Amino acid sequence: MTVTEEYRPVFAGKVQDELRQILTRYPTKQAALLPALWLVQRERGWISDRNMTEVAEALGVTPAYVKGVVTFYTMYHQHPVGRHFVQVCTTSPCNICGAEEVVKALLQQTGANDPGATSPDGAWTIVEVECLGACGFATPILINDDFIENVTPEKVPDLVRKYR
Amino acid sequence: MGFPHKPHPKETVVLSQYFGDPEARTHKGWVKRGGYEALAQALKMEPAAVTDVVKESGLRGRGGAGFPTGLKWSFMPKEKKRPHYLCVNADESEPGTFKDREIMRWTPHALLEGTAIAAHAIQAEVAYIYIRGEFTEPWAIMEQALAEANAARVFGKIAIHLHRGAGAYICGEETALMNSIEGKRGNPRIKPPFPAAAGLFGLPTTINNVETLAAVPPILTRGAAWYKAMSLSNPKSTGTKLFSVCGHVQRPGNYEVTMGFPLKDLVYELSGGMRAGRTLKACIPGGSSVPILNREETERTLLDYEGCVAAGTMLGSGGVIVFDDSTDMVYQIMRLARFYAHESCAQCTQCREGTAWTTKILERILAGQGKTKDLDLLLDLSENMTGKTICVLSDSCAAPVVSGIQKFKNEFEDYIAGRRKPMLVA
């Protein structure tokens, strides 16, 4: 398949202004890489190879370098994810409080079925993540940017309904 | 247990005084509570004099290493020839630890004030607060607080910026954090050079934990002697410390106590003890990277740097994970090993291979396919993972494995001998 659609840059207009503002905080352009990638993900939902090339050009590094950084950090998506991206902590402290049951309930209720897979309607992706840093509020989950504490399997149906 | 809640009578409330009080989040509210007086005081002092007060207080790093804060600041060049930087480690990711999150959520200005004081003391004009990517709520609160403080022009010449992480436990390691701010993969650097000589952007840098910096304003306003007097056991451990308690207790949450406080009181009283009909089996007192304690050890451990070492473990970050008698220790140790395998930056062979093999062997045991020699193999692997790498992530993986095998060997043997039903499918 040939890509015919013209590339629409992320860093244009308001977003470009945001990047300019970010660049003033650092003595090097390269240091703006993580914030620039966050902007791309906010605008496009994920970071494509073409996006990485654009970021590379904007910051004076190579596309391969950008890819090296993107792949190091778990929060950058290298492929599209569901409209609701759900991260569930299953590290020990949450694990002993029933986190794996929360994952099962979420997979069932959303139809995503498999961790990392997206539900057929494109709405949900559920992933297990390591420590979310809220161990006293087991089980914490992140639905996009919403941090939700004390989730139990019983609370999952209502939660899913609320976001649906 | 979240805030607001009434502090337990045995708590010593300094850092957590305004937890649960939404007005304290605002600049106006913070000033009304005496906020930014310490900064105004510090800005009138010589940088070295500020460092001396902190040195005198006995404050030690709350991120895990427990290095004396004032001494760390004094390593920075006295004569400033090049730009100096301050990094604030708000990449709180150590399993069991959730105290910095609470500081940022409730008292963002305490952190900003401590940051500005530290920046003045080390003659840095720029400070970066590195907040882990998952902390969306603390980020929003910090952003708002920073905007309000900047509008009120409280920081003088000091610029404070927030920098968002993107999901990597290793970025809590000081030099990995600096690489991450520079727009690189979060690989720890070989030391020396230490950050005070060549840190962020190759320039003299100091890095401090959130809780450490939040403790600085009250030290300045109330005095080093006041802080130093808060010590229940060893004079080398002073002040108060936030302990995050999680796992099988009735009231998980953050509790602030004076250094040297008994771990058993924290677990059985402040956190409400075990669930009905359950007993304590094990406890990790300083975040998942420190050796596991059994019940008897837990009941005699004093919570300060020396007390934890005497009990064969470490105070670490103060993340207390409590396991009751329903816990499958082998499974939970495997989960911890899996955590470290997932978070290894993969630079050093011992860590990249060691964390992965440790996890595989533990999974094999849990699948009922363990061999008698596997325990010795795990101990041998752990030895080769300790003290041999650029940073301590690999050591951290070995700590729960070695202490777990020492203290709960029968549980491993039960899986190996087939006395216990396999937990995992082969």
Domain boundaries, chain A: 13-72, 84-163
What tens digit of pLDDT does each residue of A90-125 get?
999 999 999 999 999 999 999 999 999 999 999 999
Question: Taking the model in full, what pTM does it have?
Answer: 0.97
Alpha-helical runs (H) found in chain A: 13-23, 33-44, 49-59, 63-72, 92-95, 99-110, 156-163
What tens digit of pLDDT does each residue of B187-246 get?
999 999 999 999 999 999 999 999 999 999 999 999 999 999 999 999 999 999 999 999
d(CA B368, CA B358): 16
Is there a single domain that holds both residue B153 and residue B295? no
Is there a single domain that holds both residue B265 and residue B220? no
What tens digit of pLDDT does each residue of B103-112 get?
999 999 999 9
- Count the neighbouring beta carbons within 10 Å of the beta carbon of residue B217: 27
Percent above pLDDT 70 for chain B: 100
Q: Where a domain ends, among B324, B350, B380?
A: B324
Is there a single domain that holds both residue B213 and residue B92? yes
Q: If pLDDT is split at 50, 70 and 90, which confidence band does A5 have? A: confident
Is there a single domain that holds both residue B246 and residue B103? no
Tokens, residue A15: 């977003």
Select from 3.40.30.10, 3.20.20.70, 3.90.550.10, 3.40.1160.10 the CATH code of A84-163: 3.40.30.10
Is there a single domain that holds both residue B319 and residue B334? no
Report the domain count for chain B: 3
Tokens, residue A144: 């996009």
Residue B344: inside a domain, yes or no? yes
At A164 the pLDDT is 84
Residue with tokens 């409400």: B272
Tokens, residue B253: 């949450």
What tens digit of pLDDT does each residue of A133-157 get?
999 999 999 999 999 999 999 999 9
Is there a single domain that holds both residue B177 and residue B309? no
Buried b (16+ CB within 10 A) or exposed e, B266-292: bbbebbbbbeeeeebbbbbbbbbbbbb
What is the overall mean pLDDT for chain B? 97
Q: What is the arithmetic mean of pLDDT over B138-157?
A: 97
d(CA B54, CA B66): 14
Q: Please, how many CA atoms are within 13 Å of residue A79, restricted to the half-sphere of its CB?
A: 5
Q: State the CATH number of the domain containing residue B140.
A: 3.40.50.11540
A5/chain B closest Cα distance in angstroms: 30
Angle (CA) A18-A24-A29 rounded to 5° is 90
Containing structural domain, residue B201: 22-226
Q: Please, how many CA atoms are within 13 Å of residue B368, restricted to the half-sphere of its CB?
A: 9
d(CA B265, CA A38): 44
A81/chain B closest Cα distance in angstroms: 16
Q: Where a domain ends, among B226, B261, B295?
A: B226
* Chain length of chain A: 164
Q: Name the DSSP letter for residue B295.
A: H
**Cβ within 8 Å, pair A33-B183:** yes
Out of B252, B323, B327, closest to residue A136 by CB: B252
Looking at chain A from residue 93 to 112, which residues have their Cβ under 8 Å from any Cβ of chain B? 93, 95-97
**Contact between A80 and A46 (Cβ < 8 Å):** yes
Residue A131: list chain B partners with CB under 8 A: 93-95, 169, 339
Percent above pLDDT 90 for chain B: 98
Q: What is the arithmetic mean of pLDDT over B3-17?
A: 92
Tokens, residue A122: 């494109």
Out of B94, B245, B247, closest to residue A96 by CB: B247
**Cβ within 8 Å, pair B135-A137:** no
d(CA B377, CA B329): 18
Q: Where a domain ends, among B270, B291, B324?
A: B324
Q: Please, how many CA atoms are within 13 Å of residue A157, restricted to the half-sphere of its CB?
A: 1
What tens digit of pLDDT does each residue of B377-393 get?
999 999 999 999 999 99
3-state helix, strand, coil in chain A (%, to 5): 45, 10, 40
φ/ψ of B222, rounded to 5, equals: -100, -10
d(CA B126, CA B204): 12
At B426 the pLDDT is 76
Q: What dotted CATH number matches A13-72? A: 1.10.10.1590
Question: For residue B334, which of B345, B342, B322, B325 has the smallest C-alpha distance?
Answer: B342
Residue B422: inside a domain, yes or no? no
d(CA B330, CA B367): 11
Q: Which conformational region is residue A150 in: left (phi greater than 0), alpha (psi within -120 to 50 degrees), or beta? A: left
d(CA B73, CA B82): 16
Question: For residue B317, which of B66, B54, B3 has the smallest C-alpha distance?
Answer: B66
Q: State the CATH number of the domain containing residue B367.
A: 1.20.1440.230
φ/ψ of B295, rounded to 5, equals: -60, -45
Residue B234: inside a domain, yes or no? no
* β-pair type (A124-129, A84-89): parallel
Is there a single domain that holds both residue B49 and residue B142? yes
Is there a single domain that holds both residue B408 and residue B295? no
Out of B98, B184, B321, closest to residue A92 by CB: B321
Is there a single domain that holds both residue B110 and residue B155? yes
Is there a single domain that holds both residue B216 and residue B263? no
Q: Please, how many CA atoms are within 13 Å of residue B63, restricted to the half-sphere of its CB?
A: 21
Q: If pLDDT is split at 50, 70 and 90, which confidence band does B1 have? A: low
- Count the neighbouring beta carbons within 10 Å of the beta carbon of residue B222: 13
Is there a single domain that holds both residue B211 and residue B250? no
Q: What is the arithmetic mean of pLDDT over B309-336?
A: 97
A62/chain B closest Cα distance in angstroms: 12
**Cβ within 8 Å, pair B92-A34:** no
Q: Is A24 on the interface with B (CB under 8 A)?
A: no
Q: If pLDDT is split at 50, 70 and 90, which confidence band does A4 have? A: low
ipTM of the complex: 0.96
Q: If pLDDT is split at 50, 70 and 90, which confidence band does A2 have? A: low
Q: If pLDDT is split at 50, 70 and 90, which confidence band does B140 have? A: very high
What tens digit of pLDDT does each residue of B72-93 get?
999 999 999 999 999 999 999 9
